[in-house]
């Protein structure tokens, strides 16, 4: 049983990762939330390499916290970087977080930027 919020998220994360695998043709878009920032990276699981990454610190280094507007901008930034590398489709990995708030805003921003899930 989960004893706290972090253990619950990790258990859900492993359940998701059993089903989701990123490949060279369709890599995995992974999300990580901290108290002050939001991180996104596109990963090829077959070769175990990170193809590209982005963080809210790149967009606004002076911000103390992240809101959903900044998360949407991060989604657009990661989509732009992916387009430059020739990546059109990804598999979305919410990393055990609820698909709500900042995570949903990032996914919507990536879709607006042109990535297909």
For the chain, report the end-to-end CA distance as a whole number of angstroms. 32
- pLDDT tier, 23 (very low <50, low <70, confident <90, very high otherwise): confident
**Which tokens sit at 24?**
């060279």
Of residues 1 and 67, which shows the higher confidence score? 67
Q: Which two tokens stand for residue 35?
A: 């108290």
Give tens-digit pLDDT for 54-98. Answer: 999 999 877 777 889 999 999 999 999 999 999 999 999 999 999
Q: Global pTM?
A: 0.89
| C-beta separation of 110 from 79 below 8 A | yes
Q: Which domains are assigned to the chain? A: 5-113 (3.30.420.100)
């Amino acid at each position: 049983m989960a004893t706290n919020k972090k253990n619950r998220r990790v258990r859900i994360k492993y359940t998701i990762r059993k089903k989701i695998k990123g490949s060279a043709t369709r890599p995995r878009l992974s999300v990580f939330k901290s108290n002050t920032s939001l991180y996104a990276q596109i990963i090829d699981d077959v070769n175990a390499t990170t193809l590209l990454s982005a963080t809210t610190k790149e967009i606004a280094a002076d911000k103390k916290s992240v809101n959903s507007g900044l998360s949407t901008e991060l989604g657009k930034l990661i989509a732009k970087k992916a387009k430059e590398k020739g990546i059109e489709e990804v598999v979305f990995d919410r990393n055990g977080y609820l698909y709500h708030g900042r995570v949903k805003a990032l996914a919507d921003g990536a879709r607006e930027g042109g990535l297909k899930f």
